[in-house]
Structure formats: structure tokens, C-alpha cells
A = this chain, B = another copy of it.
Amino acid sequence: MKQYAVNKLAKLAGVSVRTLHYYDQIGLLTPSVRTSAGYRLYGEAELLRLQQILFYRELDVALKDISNILDDPEFDLVHALESHRQMLLSKKNRIETLVATVEKTIFHLKNKVNMNVEDLYAGLPKEQAEAWRREAKEKWPGQVAHAEKQLLTMDKDSYRQLQEGFKANWEILASLAAAGLDPASEQVQQEIAIHYRYILQFWGKAGDQAAAYKGLG
């Protein structure tokens, strides 16, 4: 029967020797024999097991889970893979959102929509807007996409103007907050509404940090 030392097996399977050491260490793939000198020797069974390990690893399954899959015949593989699939899909969604955001950012930078003249100011609306878009979408569904297109075709001066307005609104909000005004007060609510409208035009992006928003109010 064939026997493979670490290097051989590593090359056969396309992994590093370190990986085999590691898999041995965590008990995921134990060599069939240890020579008197301590050398690891693997047989066919181990080669096949390694193939399976690599298969699941390729699917981004954690090594611990692979252990379970391979060692526990009762393991509900289908279920595990289905939830794994969900994970992958949401990862994909997230990445798609990121790509869109990055592309938009690149666009803005390329068009030098100042944004850098006052770095302090520039960073804020990006993040804030990022954080509020989803809320905006809920309140004025359908508007966001429109606002985005508008923004993309806007020239520098209009943009500058918008930015000024946004900044003014932001500063009012900040002063109200500093004054310790009740977030539920009408004045605050009004400014917030204006703020949302600016956000809609301005950037059109967000997470779900209503909490942070309230924190500021």
C-alpha cells in the first residue's frame, strides 16, 4: 500500500506542509503511521479524507464543521449546507452593496466634488448618509433611486449648493442637540425631516442606525 510523507501528500493535494501539520494538530487529519523518527506517513484513506476536507474547505466551511461532517454520520449535512448557502447569499448581497457604494465614491472623487476642501465635513455626511438611507427608503420609498440619479448628473455648483444647505441644517441640528432640546420636540423633528430630504438628494445610502440618530437628537 502506498504511503505518503508530508511533502508528497502536500504536493498531491495542493496544500502546504504546514497545513498538514495543522490538520494533524487539530485532529482533523491524522497520519496512519508515525515512524520511530516521528515522521508522519499517510495512506490512501488519508488521501481520500483530505480530498473531502478540501472539498468542504473550498465551500468556505469552517474546519470544525468539516470535522463534524466527516466524523459524525448523524450530521445533518443538507441542513448545514442550506444554512451555509444562506450565509453565502447574504455575504454576496453585502458585497454587492459595497461595490455600489465604492463605485459611487469613486465617481464622486473623480468628479472632484470638492469633498476634500474641508476633510472634516466631507467625511461626516458620507457615513451619516450611509447610516440613514435605509430609513429614508422606508419613509419615501421609490424616491431614493431617483435622488441618486439626480445626484449623479448634478454639476459641481449645484452640488456645492446642496452641500451648503446640508451643512447649515446639520449645524442647526447640532446646536439644538447642544442646547439639550427634547428630541421629540417639534423643532427638532422638523429639522430632522429637512435633514432626511437633504440626505435623499445628497447621497442616498445607509445602514440602520436610528439609535445613533436619536443619540444626536
Measured CA separation A172–B128 after assembly (Å): 64
**Structural contact, A55 and B127, CB atoms closer than 8 A:** yes
Tell me which residues across on chain B come within 8 A of A126, comparing CB atoms.
51-52, 55
Most-contacted residue by chain B among A98, A126, A174 (CB, 10 A):
A98
A58: chain B residues within 8 A (beta carbon): 98, 101, 127, 130, 207
A residues 100-127 with Cβ under 8 Å of B? 101-103, 105-106, 109-110, 119-124, 126-127
Task: Count residues on chain A whose CB falls below 8 Å from chain B CBs.
Answer: 57
Q: Do B95 and A99 have beta carbons less than 8 Å apart? A: no
Given contact pairs A48-B120, A51-B126, a sample of 6 additional A-B residue pairs in the complex whose CB atoms are under 8 Å apart: A52-B124, A58-B98, A59-B105, A78-B106, A89-B99, A92-B96
A-B CB proximity, top 10 nearest: A52-B123, A51-B127, A55-B127, A92-B95, A55-B126, A48-B120, A85-B102, A12-B215, A88-B99, A78-B109
